[in-house]
Structure 1
Amino acid sequence: MKKVLVKMLAVTVALMIFSSMLAGCGGSGGTARNSGSQTSSVTGSDAGGSTAETLEPVNLRFYFPGDKKSAADEVWNALAEKFKDKLNCTYEVNWIAFGDYKDKLMVMAASGDDWDMNYDGPWQAYTQMQNKGAYMDISQLLPKYAPDLYKKYQETGTLRPATVGDKVVALPWTLSGSLRPWFDWRFDAAEKAGIKIEQNSVKTIEDIDTVVHEFKKAYPDQTILALGQNNLNQVFQVTLLRDGLMDAEFHNFYYDVNGDVSKLIPIEQTETFRDTVKIIRKWVEDGIISKDEMTDKMYEQDKWDNGKTLCRVITHEWSLATEPFKDPAFTKDYSELYPENKFFNRTPLGNTMCVNRNAKNPERALMWMNMMETNQEFYDMVFYGIEGKTYVLDGKTAKYPNGMTSANSNYMDWPGQWTLWKPQFMRPDATYGEGFWQREADYAKNPVNIDNPVDGIFYNTDSIKNEISRRDQIFQEFGRPLIYGLVKAENIDRAVDEYIQKQKDAGLDKILAECHKQLDSFKASRK
């Protein structure tokens, strides 16, 4: 499970999702420290021309979500020593538990803490931190101190979502990929039951309905599909693709993929919502989905890996990745859903590194990021650690040392690393084979896989925070029972109508008016 969390999120991850002062934060998840705490900055003319003689020693402080691995101190000490001639820095690398990460970042920012750089994303504190000006404008520093990374951003256009006005406030990951839903099924279970399903033959929600019922007939005591704990559950992913809607990642509002993304659409007011809750209820009644799904805390990926479910809806990435099944006899097959329909690609802001507004060493932090873009040996050390101790090479493939797995890894697959994934340096592993990420990027270029034209907007809710709070509360009380199939079929239409009215009465019009004003302003700034 730990490895799956590190690898994802994709998708869908899914989800979901991460001491207010240094001492408190270091104590929560762990800190990898170097001895010494030098401060200062770059005295050379630029990143490319700086050497150990022109760089004053500094101590870089980074923050990531998750738990610290046992060999982290040793790895980061070795990294500092190995590349002293390039960066002349030591490291204090902090990990904060996922559940505390968001709140502690915001407390640190409010206190004026001078850490240098941290992981962030919309599923963590990025929206709030960006809206409060907690991240430094690096528009002038980036091309000077990370010229190769800046060039990559210019080539891919991935810096645009991280640009607010004329300010660059984040360093997005440089991977390209699609979030288009695909359908997977257990091939070995189908073969055993005599169920014949051709690869890429399952294309619609009706096709899925046929398949899951065939599995249920063959395995009557088995749960066939899990919904998961995200608002955007596995069945909704399919019907939204069918109907041209895309999650705005904002309090159950959606965009029209086929339109000009000029407004937010409350999901409860769509026929998609009404139709989908009826499908889910039918599948609960038929035993396809567990009636206890809403309160089941077991992650849907674990259910799939452990054989507790036989079908799933997942992204292209995870359909084609090598699955970490607990039983090696398990195999899978897959199908692309609604292949003619448009769908948004993965946002570059899904995983970012951000420079703190009060960073003590922003120039050196950017030089560090440039090394990640340009130096395989540096990248290997940051990602995999010390060869022979935290990983071993089998040809080009990075593997765990003997006796070590994802469950007891002393460094590899450390959490919070996702922004730093670089296709040009990533080594094949048990999940992603050689060339995997290039194939993922190629798939994202399919004409029906499109970029979100308003990627990068984060709605400021200060003036509508009470209305947003009420909307979320009403969803928890009345929306979730609908999307988990707990409302009887004969009561669904009335329950949906009542839910729509409750959301209207709670201030929906005020939310939409404020957000549409911000959306119009954002789109005007992009012209």
Structure 2
Amino acid sequence: MRLRKGMTALAAASLLLVAAAGCGSNGNNDSGNASPSGSAPASGASPSGSAGSSAEAPAQKLDPVTLKIVIPGDRPPDMDAVIKEAEDRMKDTINVKLDVVFVPFSDLAQKTQVMLASGEDVDLIFDAPWLHMNQMVSAGYYEPLEDLIAKYGQDAVKVRSQEMFDANTFQGKVYAMPMANSHLAGRTYLVRKDLREKYGLPPIQTYDDLIKFAYKVKENDKDVIPLLAYGQGAQTDVTWGSFRAFMEYDPQFLESDALGQSLVLYYKNNDGKVYNLFDEMEPKIWSWIEDARKLYTDGLIDPDVLAIKDVDSVINSGKVAVAVHNEYGVPSALQSALAQNVPGAELEPVTFVKMEPGANISNFKQANFLAIPKVSKNKERAMMFLNWTAQKDNYDLLAYGIEGKDYEKIGDDKYKPIGTGYPAFGYAWVWNPTMERINADYDDDTVAHYKFTQDAANLTPSILTGFSFDPTPVTNEITLYNTVADKYYNSIFDGVVDPDATWAKFKKEAEGNVKKIQIELQRQIDEFLASKK
């Protein structure tokens, strides 16, 4: 496979080198081929001139090292047992102990930024473009990974597709390991199937069907919240209004490279232009805002949406009829907890993501990354650990827990969760599309969606694939925008406030900075597109 022209020569050489060991085999996996051709990336020369075969093994037993790893979410009950098993497996090889620190999603942006800015001793840390990846790279907090990958990370590369590296550099370098289980993130509404059947409604096929169901809930079950979205933190794409951007196609909207998940700046279809909602409101996006407002004032959207930190716990309580979810399918942990709390209750997945070849535009950028901070004193061992996680049995352990206790293997590409002691959360620290298993409890439609989006050939490549935005010229403006957006964005897109009056305030306080960001982003895009001609 040929690298895309947008990759710098240095990154291309490094990544092609370290991928050499993966040529010819991707192993058994549920995620489709790791590249459209089904082969690993082609081999090449490294900056050091060494040949890439397998990660360097220590000549003698290494001294023990404790890696501090910061990831999002809540600590699973069985985490200590999984860590002990992992440490036992690593004792005679890379000799790593794990200090895994969990940060709630609602606090993730602020706490991880403080950690990095204060120079706290961290060896691996979760980051994302929707969090503050670009800003942290620009601030110099992360270590470039090419040399570390070339020496210690060949296995970590060969389980990821070439697209994942071509499209996920930052300022031309690999600053973090991309994590994904497909080439297009899943988007699903989790629907109470038992309530739908109770009202005699057929399976939900359209957004209008979904809202009709929500009104039925309001009429018949006063103690159940009809609709639930997210209202806190940086996850603005899972507000009720913004969530619709992933499942509507005329036109098709994509998030910009400058403002994370915010739709204030956005791309439309595949024309290489940066659009600004403050310049001209997009009618369809405004219709989503107005729809969210109506649903909120009609009492369908949770009135406390902006205050809820733990959405899963609300779903588990049985007090929600429809909730947004950033994956396909119903997580087993939610299904199990709900059934325990409300006997007979059941969730079903509803998605409007099209399974038509070419219908979905993708720049192949990933939403989740694991970076090695500059301050880490254990950079080599951190990369060795990432490499260790790319071996099947080790991946299974960290992704699904202890076999027989937390999960059961179903063939080579599926698993069945056992209990709730270790819900699958590979997205936070080990995800790759080659090792990932599909939950055996998933329905056929969910499995079909996963397999469809795991094949890059089913997607239309964005003309901006490989583009990396450098926020340095507008770092101050981005910071100022984010401060203002924290006051207004989620409340507008969740329907909590009057949209006309609040949008006017939002625009007045933010449009100057957004215009400067738009101009700089467009300038860099124009240069990128010109370089491809």
What TM-score, normalized to structure 1? 0.71
Deviates more, 1:351-360 or 1:436-445: 436-445
Offset at residue 176 of structure 1 (A): 0.8
Shift in Å, 1:457: 5.9
Q: Could you tell me how far apart the structure 2 residues matched to 1:458 and 1:209 are?
A: 38
**Structure 2 match to 1:245:** 253
Deviations for 1:177-214, whole angstroms, at most 9, x for unmatched residues?
5335444432221222222x235x32xx4444434334
Q: In the alignment, is the contact (CA less than 8 A) between 2:180 and 2:427 conserved in 1?
A: no
Deviations 1:104-130 (A, max 9, x none): 655555566675433332344433321
Amino acid in structure 1 at the alignment position of 2:140: G
Query: Could you tell me which residue of structure 1 aligns to residue 516 of structure 2?
Result: 510
Q: Which residue of 2 aligns with 1:331?
A: 346
Q: Distance in 1 between matches of 2:158 and 2:137?
A: 24
Q: Which AA in structure 1 matches 2:516?
A: K
Distance 1:93 1:333 in 2: 36
Contact 1:178 1:346 in 2 (8 A): no
CA change 1:348–1:418 in 2 (3 A) is farther
Contact conserved, 1:178 with 1:317, CA < 8 A, in 2? Answer: no
- The one-letter code sitting in structure 1 at the alignment partner of 2:240 is Q
Partner of 1:255: helix, strand, or coil?
strand
Task: Quote the Cα distance in structure 2 between the aligned partners of 1:71 and 1:504.
Answer: 45
Structure 1 residue 353 displacement after superposition: 2.1
2:269 is paired with a residue whose SS is coil
The aligned runs of 1:419-430 (5 Å cut-off) are 419-422=429-432, 425-426=435-436
Task: Report the secondary structure of 2:370's partner residue.
Answer: strand
Q: Is 1:95 matched with 2:101?
A: yes
CA shift in 2, pair 1:83/1:181, >3 Å: closer
Q: Is the 8 A contact 1:177 1:345 kept in 2?
A: yes
Is the contact made by 1:467 and 1:508 (CA closer than 8 Å) also made in structure 2?
yes
Please give the per-residue CA displacement for 1:218-276, whole angstroms capped at 9, x wherever unaligned. 44664321233153322432266434212332544343341223314337722123322
Matched, 1:163 2:163: no
CA contact (8 A) 2:484 2:510 kept: no
> Please, which of 266, 275, 278 is the counterpart of residue 287 of structure 2?
275
**Aligned residue identity for 1:277:** I
Which runs of no fewer than 5 residues in structure 2 stay unpaired? 1-49
- Three-state SS of the structure 2 residue aligned to 1:225 is strand
Give the direction of change, closer, same or farther, for the CA distance of 1:498–1:526 in structure 2 (3 Å limit).
Answer: same
SS at match of 1:420: coil
1:193 and 2:199 equivalent?
yes
In 1, Cα distance between the equivalents of 2:203 and 2:435? 35
Contact between 2:70 and 2:124, CA under 8 Å: does it hold in 1? no
After superposition, give the CA deviation of every residue in 1:436-472 in whole Å (9 maximum; x if it has no partner).
8786143444877545554676655555455445544
> How big is the shift at 1:329?
0.9
> Which TM-score applies when normalising by structure 2?
0.70
Paired residue for 2:370, among 332, 343, 353? 353
Counterpart amino acid of residue 307 in structure 1: G
* Contact 2:416/2:441, CA 8 A, preserved across alignment: no
Shift of 1:173: 1.7
1:113-128 map, 5 Å:
115-128=122-135
Deviates more, 1:333-342 or 1:132-141: 333-342
Alpha carbons 2:190, 2:325 under 8 Å: kept: yes
- 1:365-423 alpha-carbon deviations (Å, 9 max, x no partner): 333322322342x33444456667x64758775655xxxx53xx4xx348776331355
Q: Describe the shift of the 1:116–1:55 C-alpha distance in structure 2 as closer, same or farther (beyond 3 A).
A: farther
Partner of 1:365: 382
Query: Is the CA contact 1:172–1:352 (under 8 Å) kept in the aligned structure 2?
Result: yes
Please give the secondary structure, in 2, of the residue aligned with 1:357: coil
- Shift of residue 319 of structure 1? 5.2
* Closer/same/farther in 2, CA of residues 119 and 165 from structure 1, 3 Å limit: closer
5+ residue gaps, structure 1: 1-43
> C-alpha distance in 2, partners of 1:263/1:344?
16
Deviation at 1:501, TM superposition (A): 5.2
Aligned residue type for 1:255: Y
2:430 alignment partner AA: L
Letter of the structure 1 residue corresponding to residue 391 of structure 2: T
SS in 1 for 2:390: helix
SS of 1:163's partner is coil
Which of 138, 143, 151 is residue 145 of structure 2 equivalent to? Answer: 138
1:288 aligns with 2:304: no
What's the secondary structure of 1:190's corresponding residue? helix
SS at match of 1:61: strand
Contact 1:323–1:431 (8 Å) recurs in 2: no
C-alpha distance in 1, partners of 2:347/2:122? Answer: 45
* Equivalent residues of 1:225, 1:288 under 8 A apart: yes
155-164 vs 59-68, greater mean Cα deviation: 59-68
**Secondary structure of 1:210's partner?**
helix
The question of whether the paired residues in 2 share the 8 Å contact of 1:225 and 1:312 is answered with yes
- Displacement of 1:361 in angstroms is 4.2
Q: Could you say what secondary structure the match of 2:156 adopts?
A: helix
Letter in 2 for 1:247: E
- CA RMSD across the alignment: 4.3
Partner of 1:256: 267
Larger deviation, residues 157-166 vs 70-79: 70-79
Equivalent pair of 1:179/1:344 in contact (CA under 8 Å) = no
- The one-letter amino acid paired with 2:225 is T
